[in-house]
Structure 1
Amino acid sequence: MTPPDKRRHALPTARLSASRWVLIGLVGALVAVAGIYAYNSSGWQVPGAQRPVVPGGDGTATSCTPTLKLVPPCGAWWGMHVPADSGGGLMPDVAAMEKKIGRKLDITISYHDMSDSDAGRFFRDDESEIGNDRILFLGWESTIWQDNLNIAWRDIAAGHYDQAISDQAERVRKYGKPVLVGFDGEKDRDESGQNPAEYIAAYKRIVDGFRNAGATNALWVWGVTGYYPFRDRWKAYYPGDSYVDWISYDPYNFAICRGAEWQNFEQTVQPTYEWFQQNGFADKPLMLAEYGTESHKSDTSARANWYLDIPKVMKTMPNLKAIVQWNNTDADHCNFSLTGPGVLDAFAKAGKDPYFQQPMVRQSTG
Structure 2
Amino acid sequence: MPAAGRMIVDLAGLSTGVRVELGRLSRRYVLSVGALGLVAACAPDAPPPSFSPEVETPRATAAPSTSSAPVVVRGGPVPFTPGRAMLGSYSALGGKSLTQSLALRRKQLGREQRIVHRFYPWDGFVPTSEPEVAKSSILMVSWHGAPLAAITGGSADGLIRSVARKLKGMRRPILLRWAWEMNGDWFEWGGSPELYVKAYRRIHRVFGDVGADNVAWVWSPNWNSSPDTPANRIAKYYPGDSYVDWVGVSGYNFFGESPSTLFSRVIDLYGNRKPVILSETAAVSDKAGYIKKLCKWVDRTPSVGAVVWFDTDIQDGTTNNFRFDTDAAALSAYREMARSRRFSG
Report TM bin, short chain: 0.7 to 0.9
**Corresponding position of 1:164:** 159
1:29-44 matches, within 5 Å, as: none
> Residue type of the partner of 2:268?
Q
Amino acid at match of 2:277: M
Residue 272 of structure 2 aligns to a residue whose secondary structure is coil
Partner of 1:327: 311
1:122 aligned onto 2:127: yes
The Cα shift of 1:244 comes to 0.6
Partner of 1:30: none
Unpaired segments of 5 or more residues in structure 2?
1-5, 11-20, 34-43, 49-73
2:77, 2:213 within 8 Å by CA — same for their partners in 1? no
- State the AA in 1 paired with 2:273: D
Matched, 1:351 2:338: yes
Q: CA RMSD in A?
A: 3.0
The answer on 1:220 being equivalent to 2:217 is yes
Following the alignment from structure 2 to structure 1, what is the Cα–Cα distance between the partners of residues 181 and 159? 22
Q: Which amino acid aligns with 2:135?
A: N
- Would you say 1:70 and 2:57 are equivalent positions? no
Give the Å deviation of 1:325: 0.7
**Could you give the per-residue CA deviations for residues 14-34 of structure 1, whole angstroms, max 9, x where no partner exists?**
79xxxxxxxxxxxxxxxxxxx
CA contact (8 A) 1:155 1:161 kept: yes
CA offset at residue 345 of structure 1?
Answer: 2.3
2:31 counterpart residue number: 13
Within 2, Cα distance between the matches of 1:356 and 1:202?
A: 34
Matched with 2:282 is 292
Contact 2:9 2:119 in 1 (8 A): yes
Partner deviation per Cα, 1:60-81 (whole Å, 9 max, x = no partner): xxxxx99754212222111111
- How far 1:95 sits from its partner (Å)? 1.7
**Aligned sequence identity (%):** 25
Match of 1:4 in 2: 9
Aligned residue in 1 for 2:195: 198
Contact persistence 2:90–2:310 (CA under 8 A): yes
Q: Secondary structure at the match of 1:188?
A: coil
What SS does the aligned partner of 1:239 have? Answer: coil
1:251-284 alpha-carbon deviations (Å, 9 max, x no partner):
11113xxxxxx23xxx2x2245432343355211
Distance change in 2, residues 1:14/1:226 (3 Å): closer
Shift of residue 200, structure 1, vs aligned partner: 1.4
In structure 2, the partner of 1:132 is 135
Distance 2:274 2:218 in 1: 10
Q: Distance in 1 between matches of 2:279 and 2:260?
A: 15
1-structure distance, mates of 2:269, 2:8: 34
The one-letter amino acid of 2:88's match is: G
Q: Give CA-to-partner distance per residue, 1:58-107, whole Å, 9 cap, x none.
A: xxxxxxx99754212222111111006556x5223212221122221110
Q: Deviations over 1:199-242 (max 9, x none)?
A: 11221121111110011110001011113784951011111111
Give the one of 84, 98, 101 matched to 1:90: 98
Do the aligned partners of 2:173 and 2:216 also contact (CA within 8 Å) in 1?
Answer: yes
Instruction: Return closer, same or farther for 1:171/1:77 CA change in 2, 3 Å cut-off.
Output: same
CA contact (8 A) 1:116 1:164 kept: no
Measured in 2, the distance between the counterparts of 1:161 and 1:318 equals 38
TM, length-normalised to structure 1 = 0.69
Other-structure match for 1:283:
273
Structure 1: runs of 5 or more not aligned? 16-51, 57-64, 143-150, 256-261, 296-301, 359-366
What is the match of residue 114 of structure 2? 106
Partner of 2:319: helix, strand, or coil? coil
Structure 1 residues 354, 95: closer, same or farther in 2, change over 3 A?
Answer: same
Shift of 1:350: 1.5
Distance 1:228 1:76 in 2: 26
Amino acid at match of 1:310: L
Corresponding position of 1:59: none
Instruction: Please say if residues 187 and 224 of structure 1, whose CA atoms lie closer than 8 Å, have aligned partners that are also in contact.
Output: yes
